[in-house]
Structures are given as C-alpha cells and as structure tokens.
Amino acid sequence: MRRLILAAAAAAAAVLPAAALAGPAAPEVPAGIAVPDGHKPYLVAHAEGVQIYECTPSAAWRLVAPRATLSGDNGKVIGSHYAGPRWETRDGSIVAGARDAGASVDPTAVDWLRLKAGSTTDGRLAATTYIQRIHTVGGLAPAAADCSAGSAGEQREIPYSADYVFFKATGS
C-alpha cells in the first residue's frame, strides 16, 4: 500500500510542473478571428481605457488611437496599449500589430479582432505572433449626427474595455 501511495505521489509531482507551464487556454471566438494552428496563447491582459475618435472635414468619425491600461489576472498593471496599435509591458517590451480579421459580436461594442504581430522588441512580448481582442465593451464611434464640417478636428474619448490574448508559435 505504501508503494502505491508513493507511486501516486511521484506521478502527481511529474504532472504538476507540465500543468503549471501550460499557459492559458485558447478562447472560444468566431471562426473568422481564430488564430491559425501552430500558435498558442501565453498571456491574457485586461484593458480599461478609451478609443479616441476625431471628426474629419468630411463629417465622419475616424479612429485616432486607443489608450488603455493593461492588467493581469491578479488586477496588477502589466502595461499599456496605444496608437500603432502597440502593446507595451512594464519591462519595456513592445509588440506592434496590424488588423488581420474582425468579427462583430456585440452591436454596442467595438469588434473582436485578430491582429498579426508586425514587430517586437526584447522582453515579455518578444515571441508574440498574434493578438486577439475579445470580450469588448463600449468603444464605438460617436453618433454620425455629432460630426459635421463645423466640428472637424474635434476629438472624443469613448470608454471601452477588452481582453487581449497574446499568442506565440507552438514550441517557442
């Protein structure tokens, strides 16, 4: 009996480190923004901030940039999100992305997105290949009626929140 208990404890200890290193699970998302095979999520950050829009001379709202604080699962700040779009962690690591695909999930919120990493710097975000923006709340452009030739150049900051899931190549 004692050998059985020791064997079970050894097996559990062997499995635990692998589970601890597994990373977050890939989120359930519309097929159009799923990340291709060969990539796995390694970081999830919650964003709270604003989408900044500007009224153009042609009387249409144009997205200028996001500005958000990124927090980890524990609620502590891990970085920021800003124009580019770019994400920067507290270690100074930066990833720049480009929209690759989008899906309208909630008509009252900005689209969920898949972004492809274009460039990265050394540090926490260096291995990033894709970023997904999911679970969005708010952030839509102001009403079209609020933008006219007379208000060209006016900017509005619209509150939003989202989760960003960072992916890296499997095996990295």
pLDDT digits (tens, 9 = 90+) for 101-146: 999 999 999 999 999 999 999 999 999 999 999 999 999 999 999 9
Whole-number pLDDT of residue 138:
98
Residue 42 belongs to a domain:
yes
Strand-pair partners of 116: 98, 130
Q: Is the pLDDT of residue 15 over 80?
A: no
Note whether 115 and 103 are within 8 A (CB).
Answer: no
Range of the domain at 31: 27-169
CA angle, residues 140, 62, 147, in degrees to nearest 5: 85
Residue 20 belongs to a domain:
no
Mean residue pLDDT of the chain comes to 90
Whole-number pLDDT of residue 171:
81
- Type of residue found at 63: L
Burial (Cβ within 10 Å: 0-12, 13-18, ≥19) of residue 48: middle
Residue 8 belongs to a domain:
no
Residue 67 belongs to a domain:
yes
The tokens for 125 are 């975000």
Q: What is the pTM of this model?
A: 0.86
Report in angstroms the alpha-carbon separations of 100 from 34, 54, 115, 131, 157. 11, 23, 5, 10, 24
Return d(Cα 53, Cα 72) in angstroms, integer. 27
Q: Is the pLDDT of residue 60 over 70?
A: yes
CA dihedral (127, 69, 106, 101) positive or negative: negative
Only one residue has tokens 């900005």, namely: 110
> How many domains is the chain built from?
1
Note whether 160 and 137 are within 8 A (CB).
Answer: yes
Residue 7 belongs to a domain:
no
Quick one: pLDDT band at residue 22, thresholds 50, 70, 90? low
Residue 117 belongs to a domain:
yes
Return d(Cα 85, Cα 7) in angstroms, integer. 51
Q: Where are the alpha helices (DSSP H) in the chain?
A: 2-20
